[in-house]
């Protein structure tokens, strides 16, 4: 073989390998992320949605936690929580609540709706809509105006406009009505899988939808007056009928499946019971004291006064801060309180109102396994002479106690002003805050649309 | 195919040639001169008498005589059977050959761009376990930041600043032509100091390091070229006399001490409001010289924690009068010891060479129980299978790993635990009670006692690493050469990170186990054609083909909550989450390189490379990168030739376009397993959750329109050598503009996504590099030479998307960001409220708790506070030789550059810092500023005590981070070594050929304004988020003794 041929061979080998490489070596399938999947099932979407809905939206330290401190049911005694006791809340502290809920729970709920439509599963569609409504409701109740009509479009609309709370409320009711319609469909071939809340029982979801409609109608009492009570009443009768119907998320004992407040206490330990709340419970000799709080090192139940940083006070108890303490989204007890309030405001006989009040308190004791017949009897006689505004104040105070660390307690307090909580005298604001600031991410990445000049003492639309 | 080629090699007619080679300096014979047939593998080397003999193939035309430090001579063979040669000295070192891209060696003289080389001596004169640290201060344009003094800690290296905002800014590392993995695992602001994989290589095996600074120098690397390249060539062995084998043994022993630590206060005790409170988290308690102990049970409630007694005022009822013990928490640190031994054997003949070595390095750190070990074995060789075909190969096995300690924000972080402890609490008096619970200054909660951390919460890693290659060189004809090399870098890393039950970071204990594999496979085929047209023009053309793959996968298991104490195993928990991940990238490239030279005076080089990458969208995955460079040795002009003052001068200019491809999978959005957490969760909810499998849509939107990041770079420079190389100056100006930089462009969360990666930003780096070499004394007994390596550049963010104010690189308050119009890695933070004249507003409301203090800080806006990059750096290396003694030292200067002293900002909250010893009436200060009400100069005296640092805005916990940005410039004596070389003459014919002893120190002296640990530190390791110190593990200085022997 001579040199010329050799050279030709070399160049041939070179050219062949060059071609081979580009075709097979640069295989576009390699750039498909093996750690991601492009299509999922309804059964795998629903658990993600529900977990975020419970752990963050309905029980998160960055929403319910702040509210509990403001209402002095808890008090921040160290770290950043102390600043919350002093009525300072930074936009960075609510950024995750906002961004996470939109891009996780709500985005997944929309995907679930699409998937349910494709697979023809009205029940799943209904559940997804209820979850959406709850997220919307919780967000607007603390943020007032939020994006909705232009949201969820990704790069097509990276800066969605903000809608009014009035519009958001009408959308919440629309979603719930549609959900009720979906869940009322008789033929559901697929069934609701991956459902932590009700294990697929669509009748309970129906009840929950009505309960939620009632709650959101009732929020508008300052705006709609009597109409709000009427609308709510209409829904109440189709809502929960016992504590077993509660929309609640039950956690597990393990470190990564446990209650958010439990995890907060385990990892930060920055809050204790609030003095105002403990004093109130002690005054009532309330049987729930022992489950709402743990005795402190002196075996006493004490609370911390806002701004005092008293970390020797009692820690939150087994009802709300154990690993398996459930997060309640909306409960039968809340329904009863709504009913009592509506009865009072629509001119019913006050004795009937008291009956429902007693029933509500009784069911609350039952909910926490501290039912005490004697105490109830005593309590009943203690309120015998209450009437008029005093009765209403007592009613709302009992609701405050019964809905400790639940989503509704802050909304009810804002709406009615009861119980009357003395603001922290060393707080940065003269009064207890009425809303959250806007998310720090929104302030930067959606600058043109975020309403400007908001302070945390501003009132949301239904609170004005 | 191999069979084919070997079959071709028949025996051809041969003749022989011989002769003697002498040096023109002293007419002595030159031992070891390489005598080779040009463009073939046929060659030999001259013996001790300068005599050589070669059997020539028929095709031989030219003999090439070369020797280090002498000018190469090429002689036409013609009909001669004897050729004697006298070689001239190359005092100007013009024939210096450097390794450039794709393993191509070229004469430095012929390059149109700047390249700097370091020899084995340069990087091992003072031994470092991480070879990246050995590059600091020795190469202009290169900036190295060591992460900490922890054993096995990584180091961050950039060449000519950063070209990418969010992507990788570290150079490509190439070992013997194989691109290798320099990955360091990301641990965020907590975790341990990790190792970058290049540290596995034993620096003793390195022959030379060639630094290609980017632009035209690395253009042949295409998609990986933009950050420059560090080309490492390992030892291969050389021909030995007779049947001897060269043996070399080196060993050293080092002692490490902590270099610099923040000063702590020792005047005040644990507690608040001047009261001693057992278990309290801060040190705002009583003045200790007014206190003594009480052991009365009414006072002494926690004897198990407060072992010396309760601290009460001297006039309290049960005070014993015993003075309060002050504990020096820095007694925690120990002297670290490290040993390093390398044994190598090498040798060869005219036809083959081999090199084999083994080494062992073991380091214990200044933090007790921290350590790192490395064991390596290397075998390399090459053999001429015929006169025109050589095969070569190498295998290097490395095993490394250690026990590492937590740092930073981790509540098991060693520094956090040490520094926050009040001066009266003795951590060393015990960290664990018989029931297994923890003893620390916060009654078991808060932060781990550092003794608990180093004994109970370990991070253990074990790496098995192999780098190897196989290849051939084939001289097809005497004008065409084919080179092929197939190489790979394989490693498996296994680590286990555990926390004991009762630790504050993981109260119920936890175990995290990860096993990951990574491989790189690279294939380079080059066809090289040389041609000499006439006496003036020479040309060389290279055509190349490359295939590259990087593949990694890992499996991990995490157990949260352990059942049995002390058993750190995944079976010991009911709460286990497992996960897997993998990643793969492939490149293919074709490149061409044309070199043209005229008269050995003007050199022109043009290159072009086309790359295909799997990380780019299918229909747009091919890109072309050209470069051009020109060098003009203007002293070749007739009127300048042979002048004595400036015997050598070259002007150079180059221009290139190079790129960085995106990471994989960025064109894709998909679903993955969710992690549910609220703002405060460390753990949150993990899936599978309560029996259900869940998926959530990714928050990052994929981008099907991605393009690579493109950098246009040009460089011009001049090389001058004066007066017989007594003085040499190498000056370069470079200008890089990078565009289409990939950024996660943030969207409003309400869009359903947080971000989408887009080519949306631009950055520039402009600067100068100057290398000045001087050799003032060059006598037989005395020699002194020095080198200055000076670097100055500006790395600016030219543009980022309009809707982004900045891109966060790390930390919050202050923020380390990339922001348009500011240097890359700038600090931004809040500022005090000021009046129109810029004076701080002071609260003069007598009722207010902040009376006399700054009114507050504005959280609406942030201001520019400084940048991480220095203004300039200078490394000054000196070699002084007197007979057998050599003194080498490297003094480094860093001017400017800021660091966030987060440790100090945090310690201020705790009342733990030395600055806070003046906190009582009598220590009043007046804040500079003007009064709010009337604008008059502030004259209100205040005491900076708990009211300011704890209840007020004086610390980073309660206030802002801006006051804690400090100047992190320094001057340091990085290396100093005194070596005593026992000259060969003593050993003449003995079995020891050479022996030298040395003592060396690293970081012996540091002069800096920075008030924390050694400011060469990085919380986030070798990543873009530099300049943050928040309870980082400290730096060290070391003292080494060693010897190097050859047999």
| B683 to A196: CB separation less than 8 angstroms, yes or no | no
- As given in the structure block, the two tokens for residue A287 are 């049987």
Q: Can you tell me the distance from the alpha carbon of B251 to that of B248, in angstroms, rounded to the nearest whole number? A: 10
pLDDT digits (tens, 9 = 90+) for A288-302: 999 999 999 889 999
State residue B214's pLDDT score: 78
Q: B1: which chain A residues are within 8 Å (Cβ-Cβ)? A: 13
| B671 to A154: CB separation less than 8 angstroms, yes or no | no
State residue B989's pLDDT score: 66
List all residues 6 or more positions away from B87 whose beta carbon is below 8 Å from its beta carbon: B21, B22, B23, B24, B30, B33, B65, B67, B70, B71, B72, B73
Whether residue A196 lies within 8 A of chain B, CB to CB, comes out as yes
State residue B951's pLDDT score: 83
Report how many domains make up chain B: 1
State residue B987's pLDDT score: 63
**Residue in A22, A45, A445 nearest the CB of B747:** A445
Residue B4 has pLDDT above 70, yes or no: no
3-state secondary structure chain A: CCHHHHHHHHHHHHHHHHHHHHHHHCCHHHHCCCCCECCCCHHHHHHHHHHHHHHHHHCCCCCHHHHHHHCCCEEECCHHHHHHHCCCCCHHHCHHHHHHHHHHHHHHHHHHHHHHHHHCCHHHHHHHHHHHHHHHHHHHHHHCCECCCCCCCHHHCCCCCCECHHHHHHHHHHHHHHHHHHHCCCCCCCCCCCCCCCCCCHHHHHHHHHHHHHHHHHCCHHHHCHHHHHHHHHHHCCCCCCHHHCEEECCCCCCCCCCHHHHHHHHCCCEEEEHHHHHHHHHHCCCCHHHHECCCCCCCCCCECCCCCCCCCCCECHHHHCCCCCEEEECHHHHHHHHHHHHHHCCCCHHHHHHHHHHHHHHHHHHCCCCCHHHHHHHHHHCCCCCHHHHHHHHHHHHHHHCCCCCHHHHHHHHHCCCCCCCCCCCCCCCCCCCCCCCHHHHHHCCCCCCCCCCCCCCCHHHC
- Which of B531-545, B675-689, B924-938 has the least mean pLDDT? B531-545
Q: Which of A350-364, B95-109, B640-654 has the highest mean pLDDT?
A: A350-364
List all residues 6 or more positions away from B60 whose beta carbon is below 8 Å from its beta carbon: B37, B40, B42, B77
State residue A462's pLDDT score: 95
**Residue in A11, A47, A102 nearest the CB of B750:** A102
State residue B663's pLDDT score: 86
Q: A260: which chain B residues are within 8 Å (Cβ-Cβ)? A: 678, 681
Residue B20 lies in a domain: yes
pLDDT digits (tens, 9 = 90+) for B354-391: 999 999 999 999 999 999 999 999 999 999 888 889 99
pLDDT digits (tens, 9 = 90+) for B139-175: 999 999 988 888 988 899 999 988 888 888 899 999 9
Q: Can you tell me the distance from the alpha carbon of B806 to that of B815, in angstroms, rounded to the nearest whole number? A: 10
Q: Is A165 exposed, middle or buried (0-12, 13-18, 19+ CB in 10 A)?
A: buried
Q: A32: which chain B residues are within 8 Å (Cβ-Cβ)? A: 665, 668
Instruction: Categorize the per-residue pLDDT at B264 as very low, low, confident or very high, splitting at 50, 70 and 90.
Output: very high
Pick the closest to residue B973 from B904, B1037, B882 (CA basis).
B1037
Other Cβ atoms closer than 10 A to A159: 18
How far is CA B208 from its chain centroid? 17
Residue B491 lies in a domain: no
- As given in the structure block, the two tokens for residue B236 are 């291969």
Residue owning tokens 């869009």? B751
| A151 to B677: CB separation less than 8 angstroms, yes or no | no
Residue B32 lies in a domain: yes
CATH of domain A42-255+325-463: 1.25.40.390
Spatial contact of B928 and B938, defined as CB atoms under 8 Å apart: yes
Residue B58 lies in a domain: yes
Q: A153: which chain B residues are within 8 Å (Cβ-Cβ)? A: 751-752
Whether residue B1 lies within 8 A of chain A, CB to CB, comes out as yes
What are the b/e assignments for B358-372, b being 16+ CB within 10 Å?
bbbbbbbbbbbbbbb
Whether residue A155 lies within 8 A of chain B, CB to CB, comes out as yes
Whether residue B10 lies within 8 A of chain A, CB to CB, comes out as no
Whether residue B566 lies within 8 A of chain A, CB to CB, comes out as no
Residues 247-286 of B with CB under 8 A from A: 281
Q: What is the mean pLDDT of residues B503-512?
A: 90
**Residue in B508, B668, B746 nearest the CB of A255:** B508
Spatial contact of B611 and B578, defined as CB atoms under 8 Å apart: no
State residue B810's pLDDT score: 84
User: Which H helix or E strand runs over B329?
Assistant: none
State residue A403's pLDDT score: 96
Whether residue A22 lies within 8 A of chain B, CB to CB, comes out as yes
Integer-rounded Cα radius of gyration of chain B:
32
3-state secondary structure B165-178: CCCCCCCEEEECCE
pLDDT digits (tens, 9 = 90+) for B415-424: 999 999 999 9
Residue B321 has pLDDT above 70, yes or no: yes
Mean pLDDT estimate for chain B: 89
Q: What is the mean pLDDT of residues B454-480?
A: 92
Residues 735-774 of B with CB under 8 A from A: 745-754, 756
Residue B565 has pLDDT above 70, yes or no: yes
Spatial contact of B741 and B165, defined as CB atoms under 8 Å apart: yes
State residue A19's pLDDT score: 63
Report helix angle A332-345 to A388-402, nearest 10: 170
Other Cβ atoms closer than 10 A to B885: 11
How distant is the Cα of A35 from the closest Cα of chain B, in angstroms? 6
User: Which H helix or E strand runs over B450?
Assistant: helix B450-456
Q: What is the distance between the terminal CA atoms of chain A, rounded to a whole angstrom?
A: 98
List all residues 6 or more positions away from A236 whose beta carbon is below 8 Å from its beta carbon: A210, A211, A214, A335, A338, A339, A342
The residue of chain A with its CA nearest to that of B848 is A426
List all residues 6 or more positions away from A334 whose beta carbon is below 8 Å from its beta carbon: A211, A215, A399, A402, A403, A406, A408
Q: Which of B30-34, B293-297, B463-467 has the highest mean pLDDT?
A: B463-467
Pick the closest to residue B962 from B833, B809, B821 (CA basis).
B833
**Residue in B547, B696, B812 nearest the CB of A48:** B696
Instruction: Categorize the per-residue pLDDT at B345 as very low, low, confident or very high, splitting at 50, 70 and 90.
Output: very high
State residue B9's pLDDT score: 42
List all residues 6 or more positions away from B709 whose beta carbon is below 8 Å from its beta carbon: B163, B164, B167, B226, B659, B660, B661, B662, B738, B739, B740, B741, B742, B759
Spatial contact of B659 and B225, defined as CB atoms under 8 Å apart: yes
pLDDT digits (tens, 9 = 90+) for B849-886: 888 999 888 877 889 999 999 999 999 999 999 988 99
Other Cβ atoms closer than 10 A to A149: 12
State residue B2's pLDDT score: 39
How distant is the Cα of B679 from the closest Cα of chain A, in angstroms? 6
Whether residue B637 lies within 8 A of chain A, CB to CB, comes out as no
* Percent of chain B at pLDDT exceeding 90: 55
Residue A1 has pLDDT above 70, yes or no: no
Q: Can you tell me the distance from the alpha carbon of B1033 to that of A69, in angstroms, rounded to the nearest whole number? A: 37
- As given in the structure block, the two tokens for residue A285 are 């000799």
State residue B13's pLDDT score: 55
State residue A2's pLDDT score: 67
How distant is the Cα of B168 from the closest Cα of chain A, in angstroms? 19
Q: What is the mean pLDDT of residues A145-168?
A: 94
User: Which H helix or E strand runs over B491?
Assistant: strand B480-499
Q: Which of A292-296, B277-281, B993-997 has the highest mean pLDDT?
A: A292-296
3-state secondary structure of B700: strand
Instruction: Categorize the per-residue pLDDT at A310 as very low, low, confident or very high, splitting at 50, 70 and 90.
Output: confident
| A194 to B694: CB separation less than 8 angstroms, yes or no | yes
Residue B694 lies in a domain: no
Residue B948 has pLDDT above 50, yes or no: yes
Whether residue A97 lies within 8 A of chain B, CB to CB, comes out as yes
pLDDT digits (tens, 9 = 90+) for B781-813: 899 999 999 999 999 999 998 877 788 888 888
pLDDT digits (tens, 9 = 90+) for A210-247: 999 999 999 999 998 899 999 999 999 999 999 999 99
Instruction: Categorize the per-residue pLDDT at B984 as very low, low, confident or very high, splitting at 50, 70 and 90.
Output: low
Residue B637 lies in a domain: no
Instruction: Categorize the per-residue pLDDT at A58 as very low, low, confident or very high, splitting at 50, 70 and 90.
Output: very high
How distant is the Cα of A345 from the closest Cα of chain B, in angstroms? 38
Q: Can you tell me the distance from the alpha carbon of B337 to that of B44, in angstroms, rounded to the nearest whole number? A: 45
* Percent of chain A at pLDDT exceeding 70: 97
Q: Can you tell me the distance from the alpha carbon of A74 to that of A87, in angstroms, rounded to the nearest whole number? A: 13
Instruction: Categorize the per-residue pLDDT at B350 as very low, low, confident or very high, splitting at 50, 70 and 90.
Output: confident
Q: Residue B907 gets which letter from DSSP?
A: H
Residue B10 has pLDDT above 80, yes or no: no
pLDDT digits (tens, 9 = 90+) for A66-112: 999 999 999 998 878 988 999 999 888 999 999 999 999 999 999 99
Mean pLDDT estimate for chain A: 92
Give me the interface pTM, i.e. the ipTM: 0.92
pLDDT digits (tens, 9 = 90+) for B658-713: 888 888 898 889 999 999 999 999 889 999 899 999 999 999 999 988 998 899 99
State residue B11's pLDDT score: 46
| A445 to B812: CB separation less than 8 angstroms, yes or no | no
Question: What would you measure as the largest C-alpha separation in chain B, in angstroms?
Answer: 113
Q: Can you tell me the distance from the alpha carbon of B245 to that of B268, in angstroms, rounded to the nearest whole number? A: 67
Q: B692: which chain A residues are within 8 Å (Cβ-Cβ)? A: 44, 47, 194, 196
Spatial contact of A461 and A165, defined as CB atoms under 8 Å apart: yes
Q: What is the mean pLDDT of residues A390-419?
A: 95
Pick the closest to residue B501 from B561, B582, B424, B581 (CA basis).
B561
Whole-Å CA distances, B167 to A97, B608, B709, B760: 28, 24, 10, 13
Residue B764 has pLDDT above 50, yes or no: yes
Q: What is the mean pLDDT of residues A183-207?
A: 90
Spatial contact of B412 and B512, defined as CB atoms under 8 Å apart: no
- CATH code for the domain in which residue B84 is found: 2.60.40.1120
Got the DSSP string for B5-67? HHHH-----EEEEEEEEEETTT--B-TT-EEEETTSS-EEE--TTSEEEEEEETT--EEEEE-
| A442 to B750: CB separation less than 8 angstroms, yes or no | yes
Taking 3-state DSSP, the helix, strand and coil percentages for chain B, each rounded to the nearest 5, stand at: 10, 50, 40
Instruction: Categorize the per-residue pLDDT at B3 as very low, low, confident or very high, splitting at 50, 70 and 90.
Output: very low
Q: B686: which chain A residues are within 8 Å (Cβ-Cβ)? A: 256-257
pLDDT digits (tens, 9 = 90+) for B426-441: 999 999 999 989 999 9
How distant is the Cα of A289 from the closest Cα of chain B, in angstroms? 26
| A263 to B681: CB separation less than 8 angstroms, yes or no | yes
Spatial contact of B1017 and B147, defined as CB atoms under 8 Å apart: yes
Instruction: Categorize the per-residue pLDDT at B1022 as very low, low, confident or very high, splitting at 50, 70 and 90.
Output: confident
The residue of chain B with its CA nearest to that of A27 is B614
Residue owning tokens 């035209």? B216
Q: Can you tell me the distance from the alpha carbon of B451 to that of B427, in angstroms, rounded to the nearest whole number? A: 7
User: Domain residues for B85?
Assistant: 2-90
State residue A198's pLDDT score: 95
CA angle A241, A247, A252 (to 5 degrees): 130
Q: Can you tell me the distance from the alpha carbon of B49 to that of B71, in angstroms, rounded to the nearest whole number? A: 19
Q: Can you tell me the distance from the alpha carbon of B441 to that of B285, in angstroms, rounded to the nearest whole number? A: 14
Pick the closest to residue A60 from A12, A96, A26 (CA basis).
A96
């Amino acid at each position: 073989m001579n040199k010329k041929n050799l050279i030709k061979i070399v160049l041939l080998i070179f050219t062949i390998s060059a071609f081979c490489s580009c075709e097979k070596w640069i295989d576009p399938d390699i750039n498909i992320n093996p750690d991601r999947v492009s299509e999922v099932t309804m059964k795998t979407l629903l658990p993600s949605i529900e977990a975020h809905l419970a752990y963050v939206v309905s029980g998160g330290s960055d929403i319910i936690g702040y509210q509990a401190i403001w209402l002095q049911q808890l008090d921040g005694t160290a770290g950043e929580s102390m600043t919350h006791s002093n009525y300072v809340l930074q936009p960075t502290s609510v950024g995750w609540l906002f961004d996470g809920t939109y891009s996780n729970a709500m985005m997944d709920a929309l995907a679930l709706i699409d998937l349910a439509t494709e697979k023809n599963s009205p029940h799943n569609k209904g559940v997804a809509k209820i979850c959406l409504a709850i997220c919307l409701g919780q967000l607007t109740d603390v943020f007032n105006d939020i994006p909705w009509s232009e949201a969820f479009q990704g790069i097509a609309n990276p800066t969605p406009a903000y809608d009014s709370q009035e519009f958001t409320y009408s959308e919440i009711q629309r979603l719930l009505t549609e959900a009720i319609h979906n869940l009322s469909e008789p033929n559901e071939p697929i069934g609701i899988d991956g459902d932590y809340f009700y294990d697929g029982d669509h009748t309970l979801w129906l009840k929950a939808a009505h309960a939620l409609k009632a709650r959101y109608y009732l929020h508008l009492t300052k705006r709609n007056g009597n109409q709000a009570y009427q609308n709510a009443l209409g829904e109440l009768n189709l809502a929960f009928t016992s504590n077993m119907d509660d929309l609640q998320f039950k956690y597990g004992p393990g470190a990564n499946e446990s209650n958010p407040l439990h995890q907060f206490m385990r990892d930060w330990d920055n809050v204790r019971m609030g003095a105002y709340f403990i004093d109130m419970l002690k005054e009532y000799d309330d049987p729930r004291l022992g489950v709402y709080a743990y005795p402190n090192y002196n075996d006493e139940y004490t609370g911390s006064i806002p701004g005092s940083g008293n970390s020797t006070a009692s820690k939150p108890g087994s009802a709300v801060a154990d690993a398996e303490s459930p997060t309640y989204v909306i409960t039968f007890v809340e329904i009863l309180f709504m009913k009592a309030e509506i009865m009072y405001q629509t001119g019913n006989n006050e004795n009937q109102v008291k009956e429902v009040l007693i029933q509500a308190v009784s069911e609350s004791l039952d909910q926490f396994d501290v039912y005490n017949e004697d105490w109830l009897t005593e309590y009943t006689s203690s309120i015998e002479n209450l009437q008029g505004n005093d009765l209403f104040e007592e009613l709302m105070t009992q609701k405050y106690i019964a809905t400790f660390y639940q989503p509704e307690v802050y909304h009810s307090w804002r709406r009615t002003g009861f119980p009357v909580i003395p603001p922290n005298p060393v707080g940065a604001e003269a009064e207890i805050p009425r809303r959250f600031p806007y998310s720090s991410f929104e302030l930067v990445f959606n600058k043109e649309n975020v309403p400007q000049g908001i302070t945390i003492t501003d009132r949301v639309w239904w609170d004005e | 195919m191999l069979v084919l080629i070997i079959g071709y090699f028949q025996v051809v007619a041969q003749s022989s040639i011989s002769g003697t080679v002498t040096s023109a300096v002293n007419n002595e014979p030159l031992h070891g001169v390489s005598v080779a047939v040009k463009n073939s593998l046929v060659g030999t080397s001259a013996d001790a008498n300068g005599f050589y003999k070669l059997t020539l193939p028929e095709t031989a035309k030219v003999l090439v005589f070369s020797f280090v430090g002498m000018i190469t001579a090429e002689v036409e063979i013609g009909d001669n059977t004897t050729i004697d040669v006298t070689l001239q000295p190359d005092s100007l070192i013009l024939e210096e050959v450097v390794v450039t891209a794709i393993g191509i060696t070229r004469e430095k003289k012929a390059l149109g761009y700047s390249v700097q080389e370091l020899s084995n001596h340069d990087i091992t004169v003072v031994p470092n376990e991480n070879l990246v640290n050995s590059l600091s201060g020795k190469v202009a344009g290169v900036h190295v930041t060591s992460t900490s003094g922890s054993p096995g800690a990584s180091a961050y290296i950039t060449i000519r600043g950063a070209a990418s905002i969010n992507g990788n800014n570290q150079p490509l590392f190439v070992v013997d032509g194989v691109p290798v993995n320099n990955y360091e695992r990301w641990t965020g602001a907590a975790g341990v100091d990790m190792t970058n994989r290049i540290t596995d290589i034993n620096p003793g095996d390195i022959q030379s390091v060639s630094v290609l600074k980017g632009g035209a120098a690395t253009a042949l690397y295409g998609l990986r070229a933009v950050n420059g390249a560090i080309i490492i060539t390992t030892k291969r062995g050389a021909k030995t006399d007779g049947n001897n084998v060269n043996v070399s043994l080196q060993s050293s022993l080092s002692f490490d001490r902590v270099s610099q630590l923040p000063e702590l206060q020792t005047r005040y005790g644990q507690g608040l409001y001047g009261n001693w409170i057992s278990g309290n988290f801060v040190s705002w308690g009583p003045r200790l010289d007014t206190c003594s102990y009480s052991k009365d049970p009414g006072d002494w409630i926690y004897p198990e924690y407060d072992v010396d007694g309760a601290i009460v005022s001297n006039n309290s009822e049960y005070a014993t009068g015993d003075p309060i013990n002050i504990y020096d928490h820095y007694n925690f640190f120990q002297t670290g010891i490290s040993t390093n031994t390398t044994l190598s054997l090498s040798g060869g003949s005219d036809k083959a060479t081999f090199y084999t070595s083994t080494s062992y390095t073991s380091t214990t750190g200044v933090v007790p129980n921290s350590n790192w070990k490395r064991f390596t074995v290397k075998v390399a060789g090459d053999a001429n299978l015929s006169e025109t075909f050589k095969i070569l190969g190498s295998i290097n096995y490395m095993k490394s790993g250690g026990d590492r300690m937590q740092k930073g924000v981790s509540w098991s972080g060693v520094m956090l635990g040490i520094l926050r402890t009040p001066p009266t609490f003795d951590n060393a008096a015990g960290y664990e009670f018989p029931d297994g619970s923890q003893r620390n200054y916060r009654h078991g909660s808060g932060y781990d006692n550092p003794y608990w951390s180093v004994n109970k919460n370990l991070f253990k890693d074990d790496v098995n690493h192999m780098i190897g290659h196989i290849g051939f060189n084939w001289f097809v004809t005497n004008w065409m050469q084919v080179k092929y090399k197939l190489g790979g870098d394989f490693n498996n890393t296994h680590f286990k990170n555990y926390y004991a039950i009762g630790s504050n970071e993981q109260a119920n204990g936890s175990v995290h186990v990860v096993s990951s594999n990574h491989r790189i496979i690279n294939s380079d085929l080059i066809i090289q054609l040389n041609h000499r047209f006439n006496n003036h023009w020479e040309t060389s053309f290279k055509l190349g083909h490359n295939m590259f793959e990087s593949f990694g996968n890992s499996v991990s298991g995490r157990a949260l909550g352990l059942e049995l104490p002390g058993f750190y195993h995944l079976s010991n928990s009911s709460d286990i989450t497992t996960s897997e991940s993998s990643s793969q990238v492939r490149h293919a490239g074709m490149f061409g390189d044309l070199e043209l030279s005229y008269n050995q005076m003007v050199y022109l080089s043009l290159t072009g490379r086309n790359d295909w990458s799997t990380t780019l969208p299918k229909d747009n995955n091919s890109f072309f990168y050209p470069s051009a460079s020109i060098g003009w040795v203007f002293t070749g002009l007739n009127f300048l030739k042979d002048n004595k003052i400036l015997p050598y001068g070259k002007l150079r200019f180059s221009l290139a376009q190079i790129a960085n491809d995106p990471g994989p999978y960025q064109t894709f959005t998909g679903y993955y397993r969710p992690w549910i957490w609220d703002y405060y969760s460390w753990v949150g909810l993990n899936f599978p959750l309560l029996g259900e499998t869940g998926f959530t849509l990714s928050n990052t939107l994929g981008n099907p329109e991605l393009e690579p990041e493109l950098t246009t770079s040009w460089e011009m420079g001049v090389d001058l050598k004066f007066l017989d190389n007594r003085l040499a100056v190498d000056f370069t100006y470079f200008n890089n503009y990078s565009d289409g930089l990939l950024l996660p462009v943030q969207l409003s969360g309400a869009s359903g996504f947080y971000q989408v990666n887009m080519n949306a930003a631009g950055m520039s780096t402009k600067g100068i590099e100057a290398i000045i070499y001087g050799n003032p004394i060059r006598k037989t007994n005395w020699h002194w030479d020095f080198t200055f390596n000076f670097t100055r550049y500006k790395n600016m963010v030219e543009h980022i998307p309009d809707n982004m104010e900045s891109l966060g690189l790390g930390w919050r308050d202050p923020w380390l960001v990339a922001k348009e119009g500011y240097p890359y890695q700038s600090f931004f933070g809040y500022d005090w409220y000021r009046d129109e004249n810029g004076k701080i507003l002071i609260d003069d409301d007598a009722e207010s708790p902040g009376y006399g203090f700054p009114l507050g800080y504005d959280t609406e806006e942030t201001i520019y506070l400084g940048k991480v990059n220095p203004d300039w750096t200078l490394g000054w290396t000196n070699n002084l030789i007197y007979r057998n003694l050599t003194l080498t030292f490297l003094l480094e200067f860093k001017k400017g550059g800021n660091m966030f002293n987060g440790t100090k900002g945090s310690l201020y909250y705790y009342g733990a810092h030395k600055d806070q010893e003046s906190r009582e009436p009598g220590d009043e200060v007046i804040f500079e500023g003007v009064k709010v009400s009337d604008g008059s100069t502030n004259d209100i005296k205040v005491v900076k005590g708990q009211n300011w640092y704890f209840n007020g805005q004086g610390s980073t916990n309660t206030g802002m981070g801006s006051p804690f940005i400090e100047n992190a410039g320094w001057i340091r004596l990085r290396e100093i070594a005194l070596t005593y070389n026992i000259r060969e003459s003593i050993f003449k014919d003995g079995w020891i050929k050479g022996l030298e002893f040395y003592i060396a120190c690293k970081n012996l002296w540091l002069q800096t304004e920075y008030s924390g640990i050694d400011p060469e530190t990085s919380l986030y390791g070798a990543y873009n988020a530099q300049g943050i110190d928040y309870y980082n593990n400290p730096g060290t200085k070391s003292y080494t003794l060693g010897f190097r022997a050859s047999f």
